[in-house]
């Protein structure tokens, strides 16, 4: 009976390209871990057969903090002095390796303002919500309202003086408790497309106007997390993805296939008890239902979470970095006590810009929270002479160079920034690396800090939507004035959002993702 079942499955795969008689729920078989079924039709497409990145494969993160740094200018390889940073005693510091060819936030302190988190949220709830101000630039609006220099001016002054000018004491006190909102652009996709259409900024275009939901389930109807997916057109163009904790992933064919084919082959595999489980289905352009692929016997293991803070560390980000330092341990402890009881790994990537003391400072994954906190405590804001920063390079390093764990891991990046990336630099570009993030199963959660303009919002929302993450943004009592303290207002083009303290919000986002594990699909 076993041999007969295998023969029937193989025959179905051979005939499927012409008759499409194999349902997406075809019974999966065990295959060798290195054996992908050939594409249909079986035309030679060597480049399309492999993703442009290494799949996550690290077995653990039980290691000391390992630090790598890329200097911001030639001849600065050892220029750490005067920047307020010293490598942790157990850190290994070396030059950043060449790119592979394949490729806050705690109990945000009751100190200063004397206001507890509950009081801050109550204060925010009592404040009236206001719609986003179309066409407003946060930095310029702040300057016009308060007479203070715009954000870009603060950065330029900091660079010229050699240090980051601190915010006034009353501003730091009012910002000791930080509130934030969140929008899910995949859940409100029509609103997201409307936002894209009315926001004319320079960006890297990726066509996500047409998308389809792919669901991978086991024999009991439960979602299969972290299953490897390849969606391929007859021309050989391919998209790579990994399912989220609920066994789902959104697929946008126009983002990778210029031929706009009518039919795509969907191949799925997942390590199982006797090798790699594999199944095949088809995506028909225009179909209304989700694409469902069955992987019988897919294993369900303990939750693993790889969590990275990717931080703009230029001069204007001092407050955000201080709050992150104060709250990481609270976030870690609360995440560790979630019902899923995840096995936790932490990573940190900080970036500035060209000409600064460092371009990227990266701390690889560790499960030693104390050591991770020690590395974070060494980070100081500084530099950043113009508005855009080296976000592209930092995202590339985060996606490709950190030791992401494989096989069932939930992978999340919280990108905390108040400026867009430099799109005029050569080298890595965020659209390429958000595609690689999807392929490696890394969700990006953009966190818009005070001063983030429309371009920065657009780019952060692009990365979050495409990778399956969400857009988080700080909120204030007065939208254009971060010095006004915690509140419900924002300058960003968002609607229908709730507000909480930022640390609670991050824990909630992690909880919501992990809660999908083992859940039966609809």
Question: In this predicted structure, what is the pLDDT of residue 258?
Answer: 94
Please state the φ and ψ torsions of residue 44, each to the nearest 5 degrees.
-70, 120
What CATH fold (topology level) applies to the domain 24-41+51-56+206-294?
Immunoglobulin-like (2.60.40)
Question: In this predicted structure, what is the pLDDT of residue 51?
Answer: 85
Q: Closest Cα partner for 210 from 244, 246, 256?
A: 256
C-alpha 86: how far from its chain's center? 28
Question: In this predicted structure, what is the pLDDT of residue 276?
Answer: 83
Question: In this predicted structure, what is the pLDDT of residue 147?
Answer: 34
Q: Break the chain into its structural domains and give their ranges.
A: 24-41+51-56+206-294, 67-73+84-204+302-514
Quote the CA–CA distance of 119 and 136 in Å, as a whole number: 30
Residue tagged 């024999």 (tokens): 219
Question: In this predicted structure, what is the pLDDT of residue 29?
Answer: 32
pLDDT averaged per 10 residues, the chain (length 522): 41 36 35 36 45 92 95 55 31 32 30 38 43 34 34 40 38 62 97 98 97 95 94 95 96 96 96 82 96 86 92 90 83 87 94 95 95 91 90 97 95 96 94 97 95 97 98 93 90 94 94 87 57
Question: In this predicted structure, what is the pLDDT of residue 521?
Answer: 60
* pTM of the shown model: 0.77
CATH code of 67-73+84-204+302-514, in short, is 3.40.50.410
Structure token digits, residue 422: 């430099």
Q: List, in sequence order, the alpha helices (H) in 41-87.
A: none
Give the count of beta carbons closer than 10 Å to the beta carbon of residue 469: 28
Question: In this predicted structure, what is the pLDDT of residue 19?
Answer: 30
* Cis before 453? omega within 30: no
For 339, counting Cβ atoms within 10 Å of its Cβ (0-12 exposed, 13-18 middle, 19+ buried), the class is: exposed
Question: In this predicted structure, what is the pLDDT of residue 385?
Answer: 80
Distances 213 to 79, 251, 286, 347, 363 between C-alpha atoms, Å:
48, 6, 12, 30, 34
Element (H, E) at 263: strand 263-272
Question: In this predicted structure, what is the pLDDT of residue 274?
Answer: 67
Please state the φ and ψ torsions of residue 123, each to the nearest 5 degrees.
-60, -40
């Amino acid at each position: 009976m076993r041999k007969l079942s295998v023969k029937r499955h193989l025959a179905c795969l051979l005939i499927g390209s012409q008759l499409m008689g194999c349902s997406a729920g075809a019974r999966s078989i065990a295959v060798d871990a290195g054996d992908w079924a050939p594409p249909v039709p079986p035309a030679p497409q060597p480049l399309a057969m492999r993703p442009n990145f290494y799949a996550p494969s690290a077995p653990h993160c039980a290691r000391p903090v390992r630090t790598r740094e890329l200097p911001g200018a030639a001849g600065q390889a050892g220029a750490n002095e005067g920047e307020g940073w010293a490598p942790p005693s157990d850190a290994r510091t070396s030059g950043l390796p060449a790119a592979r060819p394949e490729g806050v936030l705690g109990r945000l302190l009751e100190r200063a303002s004397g206001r507890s988190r509950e009081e801050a949220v109550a204060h925010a709830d009592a404040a009236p919500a206001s719609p986003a101000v179309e066409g407003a630039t946060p930095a310029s609006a702040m300057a016009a309202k308060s007479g203070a220099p715009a954000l870009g001016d603060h950065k330029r002054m900091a660079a010229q003086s050699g240090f980051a000018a601190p915010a006034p004491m009353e501003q730091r006190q009012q910002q000791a408790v930080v509130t934030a909102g969140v929008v899910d652009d995949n859940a409100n996709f029509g609103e997201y497309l409307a936002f894209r259409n009315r926001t004319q900024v320079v960006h890297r275009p990726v066509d996500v106007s047409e998308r389809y939901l792919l669901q991978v389930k086991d024999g009991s109807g439960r979602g299969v997390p972290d299953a490897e997916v390849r969606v391929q057109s007859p021309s050989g163009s391919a998209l790579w993805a990994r399912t989220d904790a609920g066994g789902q992933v959104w697929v946008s064919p126009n983002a990778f296939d210029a031929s706009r084919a009518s039919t795509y082959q969907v191949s799925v595999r997942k390590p199982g008890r006797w090798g790699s489980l594999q199944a095949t289905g088809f995506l028909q352009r225009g179909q209304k239902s989700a694409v469902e692929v069955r992987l019988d016997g897919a294993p369900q293991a303990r939750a693993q979470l790889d969590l990275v803070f990717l931080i703009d560390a230029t001069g204007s980000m001092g407050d955000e970095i201080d709050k992150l330092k104060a709250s990481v341990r609270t976030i870690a402890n609360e995440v560790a006590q979630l019902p899923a009881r995840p096995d936790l790994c932490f990573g940190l990537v900080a970036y500035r810009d060209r000409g600064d003391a460092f371009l990227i400072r990266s701390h690889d994954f560790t499960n030693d929270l104390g050591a991770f906190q020690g590395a974070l405590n060494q980070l100081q804001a500084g530099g950043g002479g113009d508005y855009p920063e080296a976000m592209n390079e930092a995202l590339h390093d985060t996606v490709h160079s950190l030791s992401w764990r494989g096989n069932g891991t939930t992978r999340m990046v919280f990108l905390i920034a108040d400026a867009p990336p430099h799109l005029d630099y050569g080298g890595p570009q965020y659209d390429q690396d958000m595609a690689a993030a999807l392929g490696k199963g890394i969700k990006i959660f953009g966190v818009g800090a005070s001063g983030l303009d429309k371009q920065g919002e657009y780019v952060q929302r692009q990365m979050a939507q495409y990778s399956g993450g969400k857009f988080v943004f700080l909120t204030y009592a007065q939208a254009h004035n971060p010095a006004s303290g915690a509140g419900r207002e924002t300058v960003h083009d968002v609607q229908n959002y709730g507000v909480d303290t930022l640390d609670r919000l991050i824990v909630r986002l992690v909880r919501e993702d992990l809660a999908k594990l083992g859940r039966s699909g609809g």
